[in-house]
């Protein structure tokens, strides 16, 4: 019986190519990301203010074999993983995580409006249009560094460009779109308050993607892709211990990734 099952699976694999209905895949890779400037609004019991045109960058880990491939450290860099199932020939539905890192740049000067009225707070005051503030670490440290986690579904279309006669090598392109939830672990210290650093469902996002894939020996593949989309975070935690303090922001992002994967058929 086991032999018959194995023979059936082998026959199926021979009949199907990489993008046939019923095939599965999984990949793991790493990314670089970029973000548009954004307005960030902070609210609490005694303050409500907005910072405008705030700049942020990603935080890639310096490459080393130990950092990127070590058993205890391979999730430290900005990583990407995804699993997919071909619902029709050439059409794949997938679920994956884009683990980006978002770091507000310190010491930038930005516009500010709103009010701060906390006990013994040196930043107390009413800020109006035209007022500016320097984002020193004493005033604000704001990061999604463990990270800006975008868990998303995607529907993708694959098109073959070239394949060898025995399908030992295949070159393809893909494109698609998706949506999902953003679950950052936000590292925030606000106006010398207690540091917050915990996972929280903060919002949602949409994305489009396109890229190039190379398949080797019918199963292993390399892919290089680009993604771009919109992220809305209306419920960012800024202080710990169930405090009501929150921040909100939205921005566009772009991401380039490189991944290795494996596909199989049943």
| Spatial CB neighbours of 28, under 8 Å, sequence gap ≥ 6 | 79, 80, 81, 259, 260, 261
**23-60 confidence digits (pLDDT tens):** 999 999 999 999 999 999 999 999 999 999 999 999 88
Q: Which residue has the tokens 């999984």?
A: 26
**Domains identified in the chain, total number:** 1
* Phi/psi-derived region of residue 120, left when phi > 0, alpha when psi is between -120 and 50, beta in every other case: left
Domain containing 89 equals 2-265
Contacts of 146 (CB under 8 A, 6+ apart): 101, 185, 187, 197
Taking Cα atoms as reference points, which of 220, 197, 223 lies closest to residue 210?
A: 223
- The answer to whether 214 and 162 have CB atoms below 8 angstroms apart is no
Q: Which residue has the tokens 């020939």?
A: 89
CATH of the domain at 81: 2.40.160.20
At CA 250, angle to CA 82 and CA 152, rounded to 5? 15
Task: Give the mean model confidence (pLDDT) for residues 177-206.
Answer: 95
pLDDT in tens, 76-104: 689 999 999 999 999 999 999 999 999 99
């Amino acid at each position: 019986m086991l032999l018959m099952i194995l023979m059936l699976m082998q026959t199926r694999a021979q009949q199907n190519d990489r993008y046939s209905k019923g095939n599965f895949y999984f990949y793991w890779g790493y990314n670089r990301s970029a973000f548009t400037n954004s307005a960030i609004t902070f609210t609490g019991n005694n303050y409500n203010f907005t910072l405008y045109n705030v700049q942020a960058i990603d935080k890639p880990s310096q490459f080393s074999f130990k950092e990127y491939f070590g058993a205890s450290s391979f999730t430290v860099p900005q990583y990407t993983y995804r699993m997919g199932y071909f619902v029709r020939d050439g059409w794949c539905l997938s679920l994956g995580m884009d683990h980006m890192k978002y770091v507000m740049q310190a010491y930038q000067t930005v516009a500010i409006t709103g009010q701060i009225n906390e006990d013994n707070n040196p930043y107390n005051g009413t800020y109006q249009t035209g007022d500016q503030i320097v984002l020193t670490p004493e005033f604000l440290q704001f990061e999604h560094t463990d990270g800006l986690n975008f868990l998303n579904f995607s529907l993708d279309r694959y098109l073959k460009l070239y394949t060898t006669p025995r399908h030992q090598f295949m070159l393809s392109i893909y494109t698609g779109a998706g949506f999902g939830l953003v679950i950052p672990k936000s590292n925030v210290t606000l106006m010398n308050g207690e540091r917050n650093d915990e996972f929280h469902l903060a919002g949602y996002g949409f994305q489009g993607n396109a890229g190039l894939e190379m398949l080797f020996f019918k199963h292993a593949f390399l892919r290089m892709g680009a993604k771009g989309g919109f992220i809305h975070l209306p419920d960012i935690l800024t202080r710990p211990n169930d405090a009501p303090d929150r921040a909100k922001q939205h921005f566009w992002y772009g991401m380039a990734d490189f991944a290795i994967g494996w596909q199989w058929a049943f």
